Chain A
Amino acid sequence: MPVSDVAARCDGVSVDYRTASGVVPALRDVDAVFPRARFSVVAGASGSGKSSLLRVLAGLNRPTAGRVAVDGIDLTRLRAGRLRRLRRATMGVVLQDPADNLVEYLPAVAQVELAARLRGADRGEATGLLDTVGLDRRAGCMPQELSGGEQQRVAFAAAAIGDPALLLADEPTAELDTIAAEALVEAMRRLIDRGATLVVASHDTAVIDAADRVVTLRDGRVAA
């Protein structure tokens, strides 16, 4: 695959966690490529290392070994400040719990506008993005007035504003019912259509079925 077609890649990535009972390996020598403007899913059972891989891609954790590149930039060589600025400019992250993705005292449109201003993007896109995820009529609602699915769609809109090179989401449908999950998948597809690159960790079959590419992990390794 040409380099220009790759949004992110992992080469020989390993991640260890230190716990009271000793070192726990989360990822082992993982190689993965995530194509640009495509919907990639990192699949696997609980504890297989999906969230760890996403955290490494987002630059929130440094790998114990290996190399991680986003948009051709090696994250493992960057200092914390540079990494933070890179994440702010080129990545959008959606967390598993819908409530974790929103500031509790801001309405939906302000959530997206805040993300735009933090990224230095045009706030005017906020309404258009909410329209893209099907929430243009709920723009003035506070988080607690939105359902879990709606909250996740607002989170995707906020993450996608400013057209980051990479959109990462960790189990975005885990706490949603089937209908809400389907609506979210539909919203993700529309973001792909706008040119976004999505990498989603999930074991939800609805999400996996919608993916362009699936990387399956098992016990911290890429399954054959």
Chain B
Amino acid sequence: MWARFRAALGLLSLAPWRRAPVLLWRRPGVLATVAGACAVLSASAAAVPLFLSSVGTEAIAVQAAERCPRDTGATYEGDVSASALRESSADPFAPLTAQLGPTESWALAGVSLARPDGSRARTMPVLARDDFLDHIEVLAGGPGPGLWISDRAAEITRLGAGDAATVVGGSIPDEGFAGRRYDRPIDGRAELPIVGVYRDLAGLATDDDYWCTHADLLLAQSGGLDSLPPPVVLVDRATLADLVDQLGVDAVPGVWAAPIREGGDLTLRRADDLVSDMACRPDLAPTLPWCDGVTIAGDGSVAQRVARQPLPFEASGTVVSTREYDDTGAFLSDVLASHLPFVTERTRAIRASVAGGVVPVALFAGLAGAGLVGAAASLWFDRRRREVTLLTVRGVSPAALGLKAALELVPALLAGSAAGVGLAYVLVRWLGPSPVVEPTAVAGAAVAGVVGLVVAAVVVGVVVALRVRLQPAQRRTWRALRLVPWEILAGIAAAVSFRRLGEWGVPVARGADVTDVDVLGLLFPLLFLVAAVGIAMRLLMLALPRVQAASRRWPPAPYLAVNRVARYRAAVVGLVAASAVAGGVFAYAATLNRSLAATLDAKARVFVGSDVAVHLPAGQQLPPDVSPNVTVVRTYANAWIDTYEGRDGAIVLAVDPATFRRGAYWDASFADVSLDEVLDRLATPTADGSVPAVVVGAAAPAVTEAAIRSGTTGRLTIEQVAGVDAFPGMRRQTATIIVAASALEGMTLGRPTSEAWMRGDHDDVVGGLSAAGFPVNETREFATVVDRASFLTVSWTFGFTQSLGVAAGLLTLGGVALYLDARRRGRVLGYAFARRMGLARRTHRRAVLVELAASVVVGCWLGLGVALFGAGMAYRRIDPVPDYRPDPLLRPAVGVVVALALIAVAVAGLAAAWAQRRTDRDDPVEVLRAGV
């Protein structure tokens, strides 16, 4: 062993090994090829930690965007006395100002507001919050101590700015037995002036960062669509302190809330740190008010809280309860209102789900890169064959020659590895879900780059050693391998994968958990592509001898091209496969991503009915000029249909055929006939007097009878006039009957709910309605259907899958360069010979173009076709929200497909031009002498 080690060391001191790293400077082509191949390999490995970090950051950002800013920060609740209200109490989040802030605080009480004579008393919440005047529309009055009531409250109480209001008792939210909330009644009486009237906020879109934290005060209650919440009385701190004093209340509930400072740039690690900080990190604990009585375990992960809060009916100080927490998140959720622990836990689940998909994809891309490195090592062998042969006949082992190759290629491998890591970093920042990645992910990428470097060096060594060892007699084995019908195995694997794709569905979030991406299902396009390309290549190989024979009668350019393809069929097959995978994976992932987005969008719009659906209170008209694309739909919810199986609940939508097309969402895939045709049929009375209708939904049999119940029961005899798969406004699990509103005229039916459906940008429409003073009460919203975080898990996974397409694309480019370089000698000599026989330069250039087109263009186009076919097979099996209609839609990524098809043509054209130029410049005598 020692002798072998000494021999190896001795070998390294010999010139061919000692000087190896500087021997290739005069062969930049080989260096560049190896560096490029190593870059693909390293980029595949390095992209994984970077991409997952980017996913983590974006997952947090997406979840934060779905919530009020304070929800992903922290909210601390406590009682506030009148004096504390006047003196602006201490900010509990002050020790965390680097991570949280600015802190907002408010206090809340419920009062019964009445006219001075005690009449028209109405219970209303009183909210004291700083800067509220900047976030309301003032209708009357101005700054000053006193109450601000909404125009709705003014209408109810007949009070206005300058009037004095009487508060006759009320209630204060409190915590009772076992932490249950209840309203503690208060009996005092107070007199306060009304200083202003503002436009009522009830039903306002709570997207506004300031008011979204008070959604519970502003949104409609469960009493029905017409039941707006009580109007909110707004006051400043001093006024609330006066009110508290006059009512004789010790304290009112107060809230301090602070959003996270970093917004969309918060990485998972930083979020974890923030959770740890808030959960009484030892150095911060003494300064955080909620950490009083908390002990931290030695590992810092378990908090123990000693609660010394006597229950209301118990003697003070008699109860000492102790609770232990499994983790900091649980502790934090118990003492602070913060979604951050949930968000971080869910982010981890999303990241793990995405990792389940991207790691195998990266492995595939890495294998492709390793294959390219192997091909580049083979090129090195060809270029250094003279010295390798000399050392071989002098008894140098294949392993030693493999080591020499690796040493000679060290500069290229180093440069390629660094470039790969850099490429992954730039691509992830540019194309990844978020441009923000954690420093630890960058370190992980660097380590992955080093691993890629080592793997590339090993591949180089092994390939060179194998080529040194390979004896002519062994070729029989390889020839035998060609007869194995491996594409059938790939086809079987694709069929299994297709089956799994149907079983998999897509990742669905359940709480913080997200189901994993099924790797076998994810790999369907790749397996399908490999099988299809394999079969195509098998057929091509079988047809090639006949094509070759037929080409004798063809013009010189195709004749030359066909014979060259036949001569180098293995290389051509490799290029076709690489091009097909590059184009195919890209087109498949782009098509499915586009289809997923379109499907989700369609499901949300079908559920809502349009872009925006707002409740239309009885007798109220929509403000004019808000949107020209409006239709009014009446909904009869208490309906049923009789089927052979029994009676099923249903809803009836009464639409206006004249305006429905303008205001409702529609996609041509919903029905075999156009919407205009459907509406025409609905509007045309039938001969027998039955109501023309369309029935869709979970139980949508061919019914002829429906009933609407509300007080009295009205029966409809309906005739289904069109077969429709999905219709705007349809419900999830309930049959929906669509009729023309005019068909119900004259019938004694219950009171329907009216909605206005409007097309247009959601924020613009809602903003316009709010600005016009219309109480916006959205009956259904996109968020009900769209769980962006779990949907994006699929989208991101497919996005990363496209990196396999990038790797295959680079593989193709490298393969074209290798193919042209490896064939340089034969091409130059053949061209010189053919020129003497009268072959025109233009003809030769055409021959090279046909030769390259037969590999790159045919491969890419084949891949695109197979990908679109595969996407057509797969899209129905990838339903982001199966509970909602319509079924998945197919949206081919036409732009990507056309671009890739043109890029393939451009690559073939440019490569042919480059090859011809180089052939023109090369001197056949010099080529012969150099032996390249």
Contacts and interface: CB of A to CB of B under 8 A. Distances in A.
Contact of B15 (A17, A58, A114): A114
Nearest to A80: B469
Contacts of A9: none
B395 A85 contact: yes
A176 B907 CA distance: 46
Interface string A90-114: 0001010001111111100010001
Interface of A: 17-18, 58, 60-62, 80-81, 84-85, 87-89, 93, 95, 99-106, 110, 114-115, 117-119
B116 interface: no
A102 B393 CA distance: 12
B394 interface: yes
A155 B371 CA distance: 37
Given A18-B473, A88-B395, A95 B15 contact: no
A84 B15 contact: no
Contacts of A85: 395
B395 A103 contact: no
Nearest to A58: B393
B687 interface: no
Contacts of A84: 395-397
Contacts of B472: 17-18, 61
Given A105-B19, A110-B15, A118-B14, A100 B390 contact: yes
A114 B14 contact: yes
Overall SS of chain A's interface? helix
A17 B474 CA distance: 11
Report the 8 A-B pairs with minimum CB-CB distance, sorted nearest first.
A88-B395, A93-B393, A87-B395, A84-B395, A118-B394, A100-B386, A106-B15, A117-B14
Contacts of B16: 103, 114
A82 to B, nearest CB: 11
Secondary structure type dominating chain B contacts? helix
24 contacts: A18-B472, A18-B473, A18-B475, A18-B476, A58-B393, A60-B392, A62-B471, A84-B396, A84-B397, A88-B396, A95-B389, A95-B393, A100-B386, A100-B389, A101-B390, A103-B16, A103-B390, A104-B387, A114-B15, A115-B394, A118-B14, A118-B391, A118-B394, A118-B396
Contacts of B902: none
Interface in B502-521: none
B10 interface: yes
B14 A62 contact: no
Nearest to B392: A60
A93 B387 CA distance: 14
Interface in B380-435: 386-387, 389-397
A4 B539 CA distance: 61
B658 interface: no
A9 B450 CA distance: 52
B852 to A, nearest CB: 24
B397 A81 contact: yes
Contacts of B10: 117
A89 B395 CA distance: 8
A139 to B, nearest CB: 16
B307 interface: no
B23 interface: yes
Contacts of B473: 18, 62
A105 B20 CA distance: 11
B23 A87 contact: no
A110 B19 CA distance: 13
Given A100-B386, A104-B387, A117-B14, 13 more contacts: A18-B475, A61-B471, A84-B395, A88-B396, A102-B390, A103-B15, A105-B15, A105-B19, A105-B23, A110-B15, A114-B14, A114-B15, A118-B391
Which of A100, A101, A119 counts the most B-chain CB atoms under 10 A from its CB?
A100
Q: Which of B390, B391, B393, B395 has the most CB of A within 10 A?
A: B393
Contacts of A87: 393-395
Contacts of A89: 395
B432 to A, nearest CB: 46
Contacts of A101: 390
Nearest to A158: B394
A139 B850 CA distance: 53
Nearest to A118: B394
Contacts of B394: 87-88, 93, 115, 118-119
A103 B387 contact: yes
A115 B397 CA distance: 14
A110 B18 CA distance: 14
A62 B16 CA distance: 28
Given A81-B397, A105-B15, A106-B15, A95 B390 contact: yes
